[in-house]
Amino acid sequence: MGQTASREPASRAALVEGVVIENRGALFEVHVDGHPVICLLRGKLKKDKQRQVAPVAAGDRVRLALLEPGRGVIEEVLPRTTDLSRRAAGSVPLQQTLAANVDHAVIVFAVAEPRCDRYMLDRFLVAAGAGGLESTICFNKCDLLPPEARGPHFGLYSEIGFRALYTSAYTGEGLEELRAAMTDRRSVICGPSGVGKSSLLNALATGLALRTADVGHVTHKGRHTTSSISLLPLPFGGWVADTPGLRQLSSDGLTHAEVMDAFPDLEPYAGQCAFSNCSHRHETGCGVLAAAAAGKIHPRRMKSYVQIRGGVR
């Protein structure tokens, strides 16, 4: 080992740091100071395969050895701050990391066409919070709703304390605020199809969604299905991950506390429950149910809570 001058420096060379932009099967595209480097993975890093489908994911910060210009080997994966994962199909203990170190979820719903499914919105808020992500809600296609109808339909979310924007990819309304919310952050854009996610990305930066269109391909590897995920650099600073796989954040395996975190409107009444382990769904002496009955909690939110909480084991 190490007989040739060209091999030895590869393992001993000073390592440089980069961000994984995309996982392409055995190869990874890593950006180092804005320049792409195509990397292989050092063998020892593959050992984790028993537990994770991909030991390295888009968004991971890695240290790599440069072999030649544009080519390298990933030697080390730096600790993740967040981890968006989903269960790999067909196998319960396997977690598949879809994107690492994402810190912000842009949750897009349309005010109309398609009608906003608030239960689904609430599920996204729970999943994003549980994944350690801050959320920005975009009520998109706001051009389809007269301004005076906004508050009665959607004002609830900002009243509760979520950041909620009215946006229109058509008129440009709200895009400055959205751009500001995404600047210098690593965001994932999610929401049902047809709400205008691609249109919003294109309105923020021309050509962005065009690029997102061809990264959604699916590869089949054994019994696992892996979506290729790519981070897209934003011209105003930061990154956005946009893939069909991430558009549906999973709310599998949630804890009671994680669900409650996304319901700050129920929280003030939880202290008034007769039982400290109250699930606020059917118990007698429940302060939250009493508040809901007294009209202090929006019925839709209460319904979402009961449904989401019902899925928690």
Which residues of this protein are in contact with ligand GDP, per CB under 6 A?
140-141, 143-144, 168-170, 193-199
Beta bridge partners of 163: 136
Stretch that binds Zn ion, among 60-68, 115-123, 174-182, 286-294 (CB under 5 A): 286-294
Whole-number minimum distance, CB 202 to ligand GDP, in Å? 8
User: Among 65, 254, 288, 291, which residue sits at the site for Zn ion (rule: CB under 5 A)?
Assistant: 288
- Which partner from the list Zn ion, ligand GDP, none does 119 bind, CB cut-off 5 to 8 Å by kind? none
Give the C-alpha distances (Å, rounded to integers) separating 216 from 186, 221, 247. Answer: 19, 16, 11
Residue 271: is it exposed, middle or buried by C-beta count within 10 angstroms (0-12/13-18/19+)?
exposed
Q: Does 286 bind Zn ion (CB under 5 A)?
A: yes
- Which partner from the list ligand GDP, Zn ion, none does 288 bind, CB cut-off 5 to 8 Å by kind? Zn ion
Rounded-to-10 torsion of CA 32, 57, 217, 170: -70
Q: Does 302 bind Zn ion (CB under 5 A)?
A: no
Whole-number minimum distance, CB 114 to ligand GDP, in Å? 9
Q: Does 309 bind Zn ion (CB under 5 A)?
A: no
Instruction: Give kind and range of the element (H or E) at residue 50.
Output: none
Tell me, letter by letter, the H, E, C secondary structure of 233-294: ECCCCEEEECCHHHHCCCCCCCCHHHHHHCCCCCHHHHCCCCCCCCCCCCCCCCHHHHHHHC
Nearer to Zn ion, 141 or 301 (CB): 301
The residues binding Zn ion (CB under 5 A) are: 273, 278, 280, 286, 288
